[in-house]
């Protein structure tokens, strides 16, 4: 499933009150975020795997975790 970035950001803005200041902060730290993205993904999914309910979701469909891992490594 492809994610439309504009639609996603609009949803985030509405759902969590994501502001112009938040956007500016992300833009200012984009290089750092790109540098640590792979490591942060590993930490995030390890955290989800420790949660019983999220682990079931992550592993409910064969190949889901493999595809995630490939996407993180290949960018």
Q: How do residues 61-72 score in pLDDT, each as one tens digit?
A: 776 676 666 565
Q: Is residue 1 part of a domain?
A: no
- Whether 75 has a pLDDT exceeding 60, the answer reads no
Phi/psi at 19 (5° precision): -105, 175
Q: How do residues 11-54 score in pLDDT, each as one tens digit?
A: 989 999 999 999 999 999 999 999 998 898 889 888 888 999 98
DSSP 8-state secondary structure symbol assigned to residue 72? H
Q: What is the pLDDT of residue 67?
A: 65
Q: Is residue 44 part of a domain?
A: yes
* Domain span at 26: 7-74
DSSP 8-state secondary structure symbol assigned to residue 73? H
Q: Is residue 67 part of a domain?
A: yes
Q: How many domains in the chain?
A: 1
């Amino acid at each position: 499933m492809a994610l439309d970035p504009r639609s996603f950001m609009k949803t985030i803005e509405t759902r969590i009150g994501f502001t112009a200041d938040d956007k500016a902060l992300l833009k200012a730290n984009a290089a750092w975020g790109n540098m640590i993205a792979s490591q942060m993904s590993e930490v995030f999914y390890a955290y989800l795997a420790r949660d019983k309910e999220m682990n079931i979701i992550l592993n409910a469909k064969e190949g889901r975790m493999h595809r995630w891992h490939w996407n993180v490594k290949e960018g």
